[in-house]
Amino acid sequence: MASALTFGDSSSHVNVSRDLDTAVHDTFAVGVSEFARQNKGTEKNVDGSSIGYHWPSAGANGFSLIATKSAIFVYVPQSVLDTLHLSLNDTSVQQALLDLLSTLDAETAHGGQLLSSLHVPVFFTTASELAYENYTYSFAKKQGDTIYLACKHASKAESADGALFSEVGVLTPKSDIAFAEKPSGIAALGAFLQTVDFDPLWVSLRTTGVAIIFIFLIGLITAWATIRVSSKWKGLLDTIFTIPMVLPPTVCGFLLLLLFGDTTSVGRWLAAQGIEIVFTWQAAVISCVVVGFPMMYRTVRGAFENLDASMLDAARTLGWSERRVFLRLMLPLAWPSIAAGTVLAFARAMGEFGCTLFFAGNYAGITQTIPIAIYFDWMSGKTDEAMFWVIVVILISFLVIFIINAYSARTQRYRKTAGD
């Protein structure tokens, strides 16, 4: 049944928990617990059959909400209503539920479309399935051991355009709910930081720290070797070393997956030696090396090519070996560019997402870096955590650029002083 309800300012009537997953109403005997907003679902098959565009539910006794461009559907199992002595025909019950859900929605949307901004009919139902405008909405679709919410078009294979987002949770007697109210100001920041899992930061720093050592060494060697080969081979080598910079990261990840997978001779040889690469921390390091190396290589090669060739030749005529020329002349003179290339490669490797996800996977505490954590936190409705990691990445990027600028300015002042 459709109801003409309002999305007024219900914040004065609803108290939300610190974790943003529980809320109670001042004048309503039932609260919401285990709340989650799910911005994105999935269209893939479940157990070999398609159930349409779907999201996980909160279980057999959970309520569900599906928001679309044309209507809002709120499903509550009749057994739950009977236990709580509620009736969905009561408009006061409908309004209280809507107050609870819209308040929780406003706290968890963080940039997504708000429930209160949808000026569409609201349907409250106890039916596990209903049809509306060529779509079938299922609220307790069981596939295997999992219960899903689903949206399926009557004729089209793709059904994702039939829904905007979903919300799930459990209706619980108010007397059974005990939680710490959401703090504000500095207290809110402190409470939030206590709940943050900092593993993505440590994984990112550890992975990128190891990768930058390889990037630095390989970048120096390949840049030095490339400028020494004949022009016939220089173009080919330069293309090979630079191509990861222009390829989509997912393509790099896919190629690495093919190279080290069980279907290739390399992968089979590694497996025979008891070495596993795919979906391991080592794979995350390799991904960072692949995407960060071109930044180092291009920067260092450009610095080497801009050195005074006559000065290098003069050193050789004095009997200096190529090793001594490289270590005593080329490296010191090109060092500002080498340092800048190292920092840029570090930043590029730390921000890597597609290649790492494809080749190393998303394993918390092992391969889940900050960019991967941002994506999956947002996908699972943990927008606060995603925003926190976005801020961390911005701060790291700012620090990287600041270091480059400060070092460049210091180098220029030193050179100007030496010239005077």
pLDDT the model gives residue 223: 92
Mean pLDDT value of segment 335-343: 87
Query: What is the C-alpha separation between 293 and 55, in angstroms, rounded?
Result: 39
Q: For the residues 391-404, what does the mean pLDDT come to?
A: 85
Q: Which of 18-32, 183-197, 301-315 has the lowest mean pLDDT?
A: 183-197
Looking at residue 180, the DSSP 8-state letter turns out to be P
In the predicted structure, residue 160 carries a pLDDT above the cut 70? no
- pLDDT (tens digit, 9 = 90+) per residue, 105-119? 988 887 778 898 888
223 token code pair: 């840049």
In angstroms, the CA 266 to CA 53 distance is 39
Q: Using pLDDT thresholds of 50, 70 and 90, give the confidence band for residue 410.
A: confident
- Identify the top-confidence range among 47-51, 260-264, 321-325: 321-325
* Long-range contacts, stretch 219-222, CB < 8 angstroms, 24+ apart: 219/293, 219/296, 219/297, 219/299, 219/300, 219/341, 219/345, 220/296, 220/300, 220/331, 220/338, 222/297
Residue 227 pLDDT: 87
Identify the structural domains of the chain with CATH numbers, from first to last.
2-184 (no CATH), 199-419 (1.10.3720.10)
Residue 335 pLDDT > 90, yes or no?
A: no
Q: If we measure between CA atoms, which residue out of 154, 132, 144, 142 comes closest to residue 66? A: 132
Query: Buried b / exposed e across 201-211, counting CB within 10 Å, b at 16+?
Result: bebbeebbebb
Distance CA 210, CA 216 (A): 10
Quote the distance between the C-alpha of residue 264 and its chain's center.
30
Q: Percent of the chain at pLDDT above 70?
A: 90
The per-residue pLDDT for range 19-35, each reduced to its tens digit, is 788 999 988 999 999 99
CA atoms of 89 and 3, how far apart (whole Å): 10
Q: How far apart are CA 145 and CA 295, in angstroms?
A: 48
- Would you say 313 and 236 are in contact if contact means Cβ atoms under 8 Å apart? no
Rounded distance between C-alpha atoms, residue 56 and residue 378, angstroms? 15
Please name the helix (run of DSSP H) or strand (run of DSSP E) that holds residue 220, with its range, or none: helix 199-228
Q: Encode pLDDT of 136-152 as tens digits.
A: 999 988 877 788 888 88
Q: What is the pLDDT of residue 181?
A: 65
Q: What are the E-state strand segments in 28-121?
A: 30-38, 53-56, 63-67, 72-75
Q: How far apart are CA 203 and CA 182, in angstroms?
A: 30
Range with lowest mean pLDDT among 88-97, 237-246, 270-279: 270-279
In the chain, the amino acid numbered 176 is D
Cα–Cα distance measured from residue 342 to residue 320, given in angstroms and rounded to the nearest whole number: 28
User: Is 32 in contact with 101 (CB distance < 8 Å)?
Assistant: yes
Question: Rg of the chain's alpha carbons, rounded to an integer?
Answer: 29
Q: Give the range with max mean pLDDT: 104-108, 132-136, 214-218, 238-242.
A: 214-218
Per DSSP, the residues of 275-331 read: ---TTSHHHHHHHHHHHHHHHHHHHHHHHHHTS-HHHHHHHHHTT--HHHHIIIIIH
Helix (H, G, I), strand (E, B) or coil at 370: helix
Select from 379, 380, 373, 377 the least CA-distant residue to 357: 373
Task: Tally the residues of the chain.
Answer: 420
| Residue 238 to residue 230: CA distance in whole angstroms | 12
Mean pLDDT of 88-92: 91
Let me know: does 166 contact 66? Beta carbons within 8 Å. yes
How confident is the prediction for the chain on average, in pLDDT? 86
Mean pLDDT of 383-411: 83
What pLDDT score was predicted for residue 158? 66
Binning pLDDT at 50, 70 and 90, where does residue 337 land? confident
